[in-house]
Structure 1
Amino acid sequence: REHILLARQVGVPSIVVALNKVDMVDDPELLELVELEVRDLLSEYEFPGDDIPVVPLSALKAGECACGKQDCQWCGPVWKLIEACDS
């Protein structure tokens, strides 16, 4: 919440969300719920919550794997995050 508010206050024009620690969650519905909550928060602070890229990933697992392949379960989302930041 604080990061979104600060981004709004300083005029950040766009945001990409990295939804980290997905390796610690076994229930995909819980991840969906967290994503919806984040999108609602973004909308509450006048960001286009429905249009903002939300990339679920595990930075820990990607770092441990370090293969760097785009089709890797752990490294692939990091590539998606980079692509979202570039667009």
Structure 2
Amino acid sequence: MSSRLEQLELLRSTARELRQADEFPTWLLSEFEAILEHPDRYTREAALLERLLAEIRDYDPYAGMGCFGGGTSTATIQATLREILQK
């Protein structure tokens, strides 16, 4: 597991990449960026943040749609985000 500072930098760089790629839903990106606005609130959620990063990196807009079985769906990412934000 990465250090707290490394994890925050990974979160920030991932958010930048998502904004630039313009393929990630903006409504999910807003929730993701809310974590970055107040990182101290989520210091106990390191494992969930690691999972979120993995899910976002594996994001596929077509996940769960018929023959496109790979990748992580928006529903999965949204569930993880809500789990983090509700703690």
Same fold (TM over 0.5): no
| Bigger share in strand | 1
TM-score, reference length from structure 1? 0.33
Higher helix share: 2
Q: Which has the higher contact order (CA 8 A, sep 6+)?
A: 1
